[in-house]
Structure formats: C-alpha cells, structure tokens
Structure 1
Amino acid sequence: MKAAVLKEFGSPLSVERVPDPVMGTGEVVVDVVAAPVLPYAAEVFSGERRYPLTLPVTPGAGAIGVVRACGPDATRLAPGDWVLCDPMIRARDGAPAPDVTLQGLSAGGEGGLLLQRHYGHGSFAERLLIPTENAVPLGGPIDPADAGRWLGLTLCLVPYGGFLAGGLRPGETVLVSGATGNFGGAAVAVALAMGAARVVAPGRNEQALAGLRRRFGDRVATVRLTGDEDADRTRMIAQGPIDLVLDILPPAAGPAPVRAAAMAVREGGRVVLMGGVGMLDGAELALPYRWLMRGNVTVRGQWMYPREAPPRLVALARSGLLDLTHFDVTEFPLDDARAAVAHAAGKPAPFHLTAIRPHP
C-alpha cells in the first residue's frame, strides 16, 4: 500500500510503498477515506514539539474509514461498516491506568512507546491497523464526500474529554480559554451540544471572535483579550458566574492568559487544564493557594478523553446536537501530504479542517 513516511525529525514526508498491515485477533484493518492533519503537525514532524515518536513512522492521528477486515472477536462490526478510527490506543493490561499511545503522533511515557512497536503507524496511508475497540461505528453509512466533515469528531473529542472530566451539566456557563483556535472552536461547539446555557469565549483574534458570534448567536459571549491579566480577568468575570473553565491554549500562549481565565471561575467552580502551558520549557502555571482553598475551586488536568467518549460523541453528532456542517474542509491526495501539512499550519482558526484522502 501507499503511505506517507517520516524518516527523521526535520525531514520532509516521503510518499512510498510500504507493507500492508497484517491483522491479528482483536484487530481491525480499515480502508482510510479521510485522515486529519493537525494545525501543529509541522511542529511535531520538525521535532519542535519533542513528542515521543518512534521513527520511521507513518504519521496521522485518527481517521474516517471503512472496515476492510475484522477478527473473530468482533461480533457486531463487519466489513463495509463506516467507522471513526480512535487514535488513543490503550494497553489491555495495567488497569486502572493502562499505558497509552496516540497512534501516529505521540506516546504517554515508556509504556506508550512500547505500544508504538505494534500500533505506531498512523492514518496517512491507504490502510490502517487498529484494535477492535478503536473502530467506533458511525451508526450507518455516510456519503463518502462528507467523510472530511466527519473528521470534525477527531477535533471535538479532545474538548469533549475535558468537559466530561469537569462534569459539565446542562444549563451551566462555560469559559473556553483558547476559543479562537482550532481545538478551542470545537470546544465551543461541543459545550453547546452538551447543553451549556452560555459559553464565554476570550481571545485576541477579533475576526475569529466575530465568527463565533455569527455561528452561535447569543449563547456565546466573546471577550477580547488585551494582555493585561487583571483587566482581562475582570472582563471575563463580568460575563459570569462561570461554572467551568476549560483551558486548551497551546504552549506558546504562556501562563498569564491561562491564569486569567482560570481565576475567572466562580466560587465552587471547576477548572480543567488540557492545554500546553510550560510544555516547551516555558514558565509554569501558578495559582494562589488561598484563592483555591477559600474559593472551594476544583482544578484538574485531563489528557485526551476516556474510552467511552468516542461512541458518545458520535451519538451527539448523529442526533444533530453537534453540527459537523460547521467545519470547512480542504482536502489533499496522499501524494500531496507535504502540501497538506503546510496548509494545516496556516489554518489554525476555528472550524477549518485539513484532510488527506488516500484513495482518489
């Protein structure tokens, strides 16, 4: 089969013939119809992000595809089924905290690197090997032309995991720190789909803020950030009371806007940290002990999402509560994988998806 291969960090992707995946018991082979290209994929492939990734590798985290073959342990899944390929692969031992790898992207520690020996290759390929439980049925056939939009699920899964961790309840007010980014825009849509009464969306990009208002109307309150931490926090608090803060800012943002958003939460509120502050040797986030204790504030970190999240998110989309037509998709053939990565880097705004379609 044909696949894009990263041989060394900093080298360009090369599209070449590689061996077909060999399926074993407990596994599924999927014909990839559309694979997402992350806005920061170029930073991963250059080595800037320092993600643990065993090279050479076929990158690509997640896909929409059609089951080609499945093992004898699959009793409901069948060849021809449309599926979401969940890239978060968990070891089948080590419960309640199994080792994890993000297929084609990164690893969660030494155990995740061990998983990469078998499940390292990702979705920038004609076919993909995944564990049976990572093939999430889409609930029926879809129009192949719409496969790119269904990739919106791969973006939405991350903030969905954050909102599940934060215990988001219908009728609450949510603040999304990083709302004008690719994952942040998805977070706004997911919060509203889960029943949030209102989403506070801070950011510096006025065009992106205006776009959120146009899409979602009065249920979204935008706050233009100035860089003055105290003033920005005061303006966010004025939109409250805020029940839950989700931070999903990238590493380059630094701790100040994260802290301003976190400390806008009401007394007894919750803060979920999913972004990248401090990851690339930047300053770490500091929150006042007295404020946390006296305010009865809950702060927790969340990496990705629990196992039950993908089928639940598919159900939200199938119900119409999560509207995937918000996503605009630019597609590239597999032979143009380099161009797809460059395009994605220039489109970090909300609701822009870049996709690779391996099959013409």
Structure 2
Amino acid sequence: MKAWQLDRLGGELRFKDVPTPEPRPGSVLVKIEASALMSYLKAYVEGKLPAYRPPPGPFTIGTNGVGVIAAVGRDVWHLKPGQRAVLSSHFVAAENVEDPAQVLIGLTSSPEAAAVLADWPDGTLAEYALMPAAAVTPAEGLDRFEAAELVTIGRCIIPFGGLLRGRLAVGETLVVNGATGAYGTAAVLVAVAMGAARVIAAGRNESALQAVARAGGPRVATVKLAGDVQKDAASLREAAGGGVHMAFDMVGQARDPNATLAALHSLRRGGRLVLMGSMTADLPIPYTTLMLNSWEILGQFMYPASAYRRLLDLLRAGMLDISAIRPRIYPLAALPEAMEAAATAGNLECIVMQP
C-alpha cells in the first residue's frame, strides 16, 4: 500500500510503498476513505513543535479518519469486516489499572506512554490503517454522508469531550472562548446540538464570529473581546442575559490570560470553566472570588472512548449539523500542498485527504 512515512520530526517525509499491515490480536484493519488534516501538521513534520514526542523510527503520520473495516484480529468480537467506521487517534490502554497510558496514534505520547505509541505508531495517511479496536467506532446509519463530509466530525469530537466534562446540560448558557478557531467553532455547533439555550461565541475576529453565528443559528450570540478582563466579562454576561452556567476555553497559543479570565468572570454562582486550549501563559486564579462563587475549573485532555458513539448519535438524529464545515479535498499523493492549505484554512474549512 501507499503511505506517508516520516523518519523523525524535522526529517524526511516520503510517500512510499510499505507492506499492508496484517491484523493482530485486538486490532482492526481499515481501508481508509478519508483523513482530515490538523492545521499544525506541517509544523509538526518540520520539527517545530518540540513538545511532541513521536513514535521511534519511521512511522505513518495522520490522526482521525473514516473508512471501511477490511479485517479484524483475534479478540475482536463486535467489529466486523464491511462495517463503516470512524477512527480516533486518541487511544487509552485497556488494562484495568488506576491510570492507564494514553497516546495520540500517528502523532505523540507522554514519556511514560512511549511503549504504547511504539506498539501503535502508524496513523491514517495511508491506504490502510491498523488500529486498536478501542479506537474504532462503527458509523452505520450515516450513508447520507460522503466520507469527505463524515470525516469532519473529527473536528467536533475534541470539544465534545470538553463539553461532556463540563456537564453541559439542556437549557444552560455557555460561553465559548476561542470560538473563531477550528475547534472553538465546532464547540459552538456541538453545544447547540446538545441543547444549550444560549451559546456566546467569544473572540477577536468580528467577521469570523459572524460566520460562527450564522452556522450555529438563532441560539448563538457573539461578543468581540477587547482584552480588558472586567469589560469583556461584563459584555459576556450581558449577551447571556446574566451569568453563564459554563465557559469552555479553546483558545490556541494565547500569550496572555485575559480572555480566559473574562470567561471565568462571566460565570454565575456555581458555574464551571473547562480548559482545553493551548495558552502559553499561566492563569492567575482569584482564590477568594473562586471560593465565594463556588466556581469549578476543570482541565480536559481529549475525550472518553464512548464519546464518539454519542457524537455519532447526535449526527444520526439530525441534532448536530456539520454541513457548515466545508471539506476541501486533496488526493493522498498531494500531502505537501494539503499541509500548506491546512495551515491557513478558515475555521469553517477542513482539509481532507482521500486515497
């Protein structure tokens, strides 16, 4: 089969012939129909993201995907050849221990999880992918979606994990900080699907905010942030008609904490703030204010394995509308060009590779 293999971060990336993987115990072999690119894949490949720890030796890059199961290994009982499935790069070791290791297949792991990534190094930018069964979710009943459309659901799964972590409930009001980014925009769409009564999309790009509001519908309001914590918090509370139940922070690479602090101070008593972004500055927490308002601050990395099933159920039921996320399709051989496009794609665009 053909696969994009990287020998090391900052090293040679080649489109080459490699052996098609053979199923092994606990594994599923999937014929890839579509794979979505991360915006930062080019920087990752070039070795410009030093916090990432890739698998040892050459490996196939690529994260989430959609495909058809070609074969399964021993100890796989429910997944069957011929089933359509979505693939998750996020994999948690299945052993019954207190803190099982977790990795992002085809991408990175923490130092203590390096052995897991060494066992499952290869991602989805290939004609076939061999994945652990726990990272494969059946996607039946979604035939109305072409593969290039369905793979954009990977944009939604990460914020869905954070909204589940924050216990977003039907009828609640939510602030999304970083709503003009790809994942922040998806968070707005998912929150609407989950039944939020009001979603406040917050960010600094007015035109991108308006695009998010159009995609999300009448329950979405926007607030353009000015960088002043108290003024921005007041604007968020005004847009919500009072303090919000939950704030979701998906801001990327922020150098100051002001927007996140504004989201925190927009909470009503008993509110929750979920952190899933990549802010590079520390977050100064007002201890007494936090205590007096009974606020919760929750960190969340990725999503539980069950989240993909629930997210696909929202899609099947017509509650989640992903039509606003537009796929731009490239052939698998055109990865260098596609990585350039992904680095500059808008928040409602998704760069998709197809074999």
Distance 1:176 1:31 in 2: 36
Cross-structure match for 2:212 = 212
Q: Percent identity?
A: 35
Higher mean Cα deviation, 27-36 or 134-143? 134-143
Deviation at 1:291, TM superposition (A): 1.2
Deviation at 1:23, TM superposition (A): 1.3
Higher mean Cα deviation, 133-142 or 307-316? 133-142
Deviation at 1:173, TM superposition (A): 0.3
Residues matched between the structures, number: 351
Local SS of the residue matching 1:354: strand
Look up the equivalent residue of 1:290 and give its one-letter code: T
Distance 2:88 2:266 in 1: 33
Look up the equivalent residue of 2:316 and give its one-letter code: R
- Structure 1: which 5+ residue stretches go unaligned? none
Q: Is the contact made by 1:13 and 1:338 (CA closer than 8 Å) also made in structure 2?
A: no
Distance 1:36 1:260 in 2: 32
Cross-structure match for 1:156 = 156
Q: Is the contact made by 2:148 and 2:352 (CA closer than 8 Å) also made in structure 1?
A: yes
Distance 2:19 2:258 in 1: 48
Q: Is the contact made by 1:81 and 1:140 (CA closer than 8 Å) also made in structure 2?
A: no
Look up the equivalent residue of 2:349 and give its one-letter code: H
Distance 2:48 2:236 in 1: 32
Q: Is the contact made by 2:25 and 2:76 (CA closer than 8 Å) also made in structure 1?
A: no
Mapped pair 1:16 → 2:16: yes
- Label 1:329 to 1:301 Cα distance change in 2 as closer, same or farther (>3 A): same
- Label 1:12 to 1:228 Cα distance change in 2 as closer, same or farther (>3 A): farther
Within 5 Å, give how 1:1-360 maps onto structure 2. Answer: 1-11=1-11, 13-50=13-50, 51-54=52-55, 55-93=57-95, 95-107=97-109, 109-140=110-141, 142=143, 146-240=146-240, 241-278=243-280, 283-347=281-345, 349-358=346-355
Q: Is the contact made by 2:142 and 2:316 (CA closer than 8 Å) also made in structure 1?
A: no
Q: Is the contact made by 2:4 and 2:13 (CA closer than 8 Å) also made in structure 1?
A: yes
Look up the equivalent residue of 1:345 and give its one-letter code: A
Q: Is the contact made by 2:137 and 2:308 (CA closer than 8 Å) also made in structure 1?
A: yes
Local SS of the residue matching 1:272: strand
Deviations 1:218-273 (A, max 9, x none): 31110011222332222112123210011011124532212221221111100110
Deviations 1:114-155 (A, max 9, x none): 111111110011110111122101124636x71111112211
TM-score w.r.t. structure 1 length?
Answer: 0.93
Higher mean Cα deviation, 18-27 or 173-182? 18-27
- Label 1:299 to 1:31 Cα distance change in 2 as closer, same or farther (>3 A): same
- Label 1:310 to 1:300 Cα distance change in 2 as closer, same or farther (>3 A): same
Higher mean Cα deviation, 238-247 or 43-52? 43-52
Higher mean Cα deviation, 6-15 or 265-274? 6-15
Q: Is the contact made by 1:57 and 1:104 (CA closer than 8 Å) also made in structure 2?
A: yes
RMSD in angstroms over aligned alpha carbons? Answer: 1.6
Deviation at 1:11, TM superposition (A): 4.0
Distance 1:262 1:12 in 2: 44
Distance 1:296 1:141 in 2: 42
Higher mean Cα deviation, 248-257 or 127-136? 248-257
Q: Is the contact made by 2:141 and 2:316 (CA closer than 8 Å) also made in structure 1?
A: no
Distance 2:266 2:237 in 1: 5
Deviation at 1:215, TM superposition (A): 2.1
Distance 1:48 1:168 in 2: 35
Deviation at 1:62, TM superposition (A): 1.3
Look up the equivalent residue of 1:131 and give its one-letter code: P
